[in-house]
Amino acid sequence: MATFCRERVLPVFGEVRCQAGERVNSDHVIAFADRASGFRLLNLDELLGTSITDGGKVLVKRVGETVEKGEIIARTRVLFGKACVSPVRGTILDARLNKVLIEVASERVELRAFFPGQVIDLIPGRGAEIEVTGALIQGVWGSGAEQRGRLELVVPDGETPLTADRIVEAHMGTILIGGRTLDAGAVAQAVRNQVRGVIVGSITSSLLSIVRSSPLSLIVTEGFGSAAMNPGTFALLRSYASRDACFSPAVKTRWDVRRPEVVIPLRMASQPASSGQRASLSIGTQVRALRAPYENHLGQVVSLPPSPRRLASGIQARGAEVVLESVGRAFIPFENLEIVL
């Protein structure tokens, strides 16, 4: 279990609706913005099928009035005449010759906390930083929208691929813990049964376009091809089966894009944290190596040397002594480690 911080930001400037120190749940609206949507210019000749010289004469709504999407705004004055409906919700700004100009109504964008936790810092006009306590599993590739749902174990181990026959109607609204990989049939079955998300070890390059064009949210933990899910990662996910999880295939902040991740909130922090506080390494921390030669290996921190060490590349870096599964003891720079629990 770790304590870490996550930014939640609006896509445009708006109004922040939370306070530093406030505890929030996943559905808490912490900020909102009214986003302008532009204008639509309608050609009445095309829409009414006849030549129009004065748009004002065929309008059934006045300039300045609001219209709903699908509402009739103009009609020819003949028996069985054709009608023109508004393609958007908005306000009629002008009507002259054969044109009608509509200002599209602004769109209310609400930003929810997504993570249950404690607000530790406000981002003026954009959102907030939330401190979360729980398990964190990061992937190497993801696709789709962020989701929340119950983790559901559907394979016996990380070696077993996720196939369509393992996905049933009862999985609607859940996040499935798969194994090695999945195929096009499993993607289609997951979409058909309204599964919210799937996490697997790997994905073949031929499946990328299928996943990207589908509404399915997917996180890959190991890479491309047919690699099994790391046993430690699978065991960690299995231990939290039936718990609610926050599933983020593509994590965007103000400054960068972080790796895809699954967060299993376990409890709220009892005390507020400073804005700079983050999950930190200590003796016994479970970690994962991010780069070669130990990429994707899980292990445990056994020592935190006080001084930098010279690496094979010749540079000096601070890091940790880690006992890696199937490898043994190794010194790994902090930049190449992530906390997995």
Q: For residues 36 and 93, what is the distance between their CA atoms, to the nearest angstrom? A: 15
Stated length of the chain: 341
> Could you give all domains of the chain from N- to C-terminal order, each with its CATH number?
39-104 (2.40.50), 140-259 (3.50.30), 286-339 (2.30.30)
Q: For residues 42 and 101, what is the distance between their CA atoms, to the nearest angstrom? A: 6
Residue 58 gets which letter from DSSP? H
pTM metric for this prediction: 0.66
* Residue 65 φ then ψ, to 5°: -85, 155
| Res 268: pLDDT | 39
pLDDT digits (tens, 9 = 90+) for 237-246: 998 999 999 9
DSSP state letters, 245-297: EEEESSEE-SS-EEPPEEEEE----SS---TT------TT-EEEE-STTSTT-
The one-letter code for the residue type at 7 is E
Q: For residues 184 and 171, what is the distance between their CA atoms, to the nearest angstrom? A: 18
| Res 134: pLDDT | 87
Q: Given the structure tokens 């810092």, which residue do they identify?
A: 121
| Res 68: pLDDT | 94
| Res 278: pLDDT | 40
| Res 334: pLDDT | 83
| Res 274: pLDDT | 37
Residues in the chain where the model's pLDDT stays below 50:
268-279
